[in-house]
Amino acid sequence: MAPLQAWVTEHKLTSIGALWATAVGASFAYNGARTPLKPSLRLIHARMQCTSIDIGSVVRCHNASLLQQD
């Protein structure tokens, strides 16, 4: 766990971007299988869901940097 935590600490933006891209793909696929929406609406829903994941990731990275400073 420590090597992963060190990598995430060093590459914060890359890890957030990778998490966001993965979440968009997964959410788009899930919405496509579960709901009969147009692709444009599925993409909007996927982006909204991933934005909340992204905000959570930014908060976690910020908290981790605050804990490292102490």
For the residues of 42-70, what is the DSSP string, one character each? HHHHHHHHHHHHHHHHHHHHHHHHHHHH-
Half-sphere exposure of 49 (CA within 13 A, CB side): 17
pLDDT per residue over 13-38, tens digit each? 888 788 778 887 887 788 777 778 78
Nearest by Cα to 31 from 41, 40, 21, 42? 42
Spans of all domains in the chain: 38-70
Q: How confident is the model at residue 46 (pLDDT cuts 50, 70, 90)?
A: confident
Q: Which pTM value belongs to this model? A: 0.56
At a CB cut-off of 8 Å and minimum separation 6, what does 57 contact? 15, 16, 19, 20
